[in-house]
C-alpha cells in the first residue's frame, strides 16, 4: 500500500513510518521539518509541507492509497485546522481511507482525577480541539477510523486492548507509542473499522 503519514516527525509518527516500512508499505512521510527524518529506505519519501494548508496536503496525496494522521500537540486549534485541510485535500484527490489518532480526554470515558478535578474547564478546553477534529472527520464522507489513545509513553512494545464503552480511564491509563503505532496500522488494514472509533490502552 502507498501510505501518507502525517505528523511523521513526531514520536508516534516516526514509529508508524518505521513499522509501515517493515510491513512492506511504500511510505511518504509528511513533515514541516523534513530534515528531522532520514530517507534511508528506497520505499520512503520525505516531503516538506504544513498540514494546515490544503495545497500542501493535496500535493503529498498524489498517488497515495491511504493516510495515517498522528498530528498532535498543544498549538491552538491545530487538530481542527489540519483536519479541515486534510479532509478537503482528500476529497479533491479521491483518496478516501484515513486512520487518525486522537486523545482519550476527548472521550466520554475520561474521568479527571487529582488536581484535574479542580480544573475541569481547562481540561474541557484541552479536549475541545480534539472533539472538533473528530466531528470534522465524522462528517467528511471519507472512510475514516479514529483511534483514541490513552496517555502515550516511550516504552517497549507490551500490547494493547480496546477499552469498553463504560470503562473509565484517567491519566493513570497509558499505552506505549510503539503499541499505538501497531494499532493504527492494524486498523488501516481492517475494513471493519471503517467509520468506527475506539479507545485503546496498554496491557
Average pLDDT estimate for 192-198:
98
Grid coordinates given for 120: 475541569
Percent of the chain with pLDDT over 90: 84
Q: Based on the number of CB atoms within 10 Å of its own CB, is 2 exposed (0-12), middle (13-18) or buried (19 or more)?
A: middle
Instruction: Give the Cα separation of 164 and 74 in Å (integer).
Output: 27
CB atoms within 10 A of CB 162: 12
pLDDT of 40 > 90? The answer is: no
**Residues 161-176: tens digit of each pLDDT:** 999 999 999 999 999 9
pLDDT of 179 > 70? The answer is: yes
Phi, psi angle pair for 67, to nearest 5°? -130, 140
Integer CA distances (angstroms), 40 to 9, 15, 26, 43, 44, in order: 15, 15, 13, 9, 7
Q: Which residue has the higher pLDDT, 115 or 46?
A: 46
Q: What is the pTM of this model?
A: 0.95
**Residue the block writes with cell 479521491:** 94
Report, in this order, helix, strand and coil percent for the chain, each rounded to 5: 40, 25, 35
Instruction: Give the Cα separation of 44 and 23 in Å (integer).
Output: 13
**Residue the block writes with cell 479507545:** 199
pLDDT of 74 > 80? The answer is: no
Model pLDDT, residue 127: 87
Percent of the chain with pLDDT over 70: 96
Going from N- to C-terminal start, the domains of the chain cover 2-202
CB atoms within 10 A of CB 21: 17
Phi, psi angle pair for 199, to nearest 5°? -105, 130
**Residues 82-139: tens digit of each pLDDT:** 999 999 999 999 999 999 999 999 999 999 888 777 666 666 677 899 999 999 999 9
Instruction: Give the Cα separation of 127 and 22 in Å (integer).
Output: 33
Residue 16's nearest CA partner among 61, 60, 70 is: 70
CB atoms within 10 A of CB 196: 12
Assign domain 2-202 one CATH number from 2.60.40.350, 3.30.70.3270, 3.40.50.300, 3.40.50.720.
3.40.50.720
Average pLDDT estimate for 69-85:
91
Model pLDDT, residue 134: 96
* 51-65, 100-114, 115-129, 145-159: the lowest-pLDDT one: 115-129
Cβ 55 vs Cβ 88: under 8 Å: no
Model pLDDT, residue 114: 83
Amino acid at each position: 500500500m502507498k501510505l501518507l503519514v502525517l505528523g511523521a516527525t513526531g514520536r508516534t509518527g516516526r514509529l508508524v513510518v518505521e513499522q509501515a516500512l517493515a510491513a512492506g508499505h511504500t511510505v511518504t512521510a509528511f513533515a514541516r521539518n523534513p530534515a528531522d527524518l532520514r530517507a534511508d529506505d528506497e520505499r520512503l519519501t520525505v516531503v516538506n509541507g504544513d498540514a494546515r494548508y490544503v495545497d500542501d496536503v493535496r500535493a503529498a496525496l498524489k498517488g497515495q492509497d491511504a493516510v495515517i494522521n498522528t498530528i498532535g500537540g498543544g498549538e491552538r486549534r491545530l487538530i481542527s485546522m489540519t483536519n479541515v485541510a486534510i479532509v478537503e485535500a482528500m476529497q479533491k484527490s479521491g483518496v478516501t481511507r484515513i486512520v487518525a489518532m486522537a486523545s482519550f480526554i476527548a472521550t466520554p470515558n475520561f474521568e479527571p482525577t487529582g488536581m484535574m478535578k479542580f480544573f475541569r474547564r481547562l481540561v474541557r478546553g484541552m479536549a475541545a480541539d480534539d472533539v472538533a477534529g473528530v466531528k470534522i472527520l465524522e462528517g467528511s464522507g471519507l472512510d475514516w477510523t479514529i483511534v483514541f489513545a490513552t496517555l502515550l509513553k516511550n516504552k517497549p512494545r507490551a500490547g494493547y486492548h480496546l477499552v469498553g464503552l463504560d470503562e473509565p480511564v484517567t491519566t493513570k491509563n497509558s499505552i506505549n507509542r510503539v503499541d499505538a503505532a501497531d494499532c493504527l496500522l492494524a486498523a488501516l488494514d481492517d475494513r471493519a473499522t471503517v467509520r468506527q472509533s475506539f479507545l485503546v490502552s496498554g496491557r
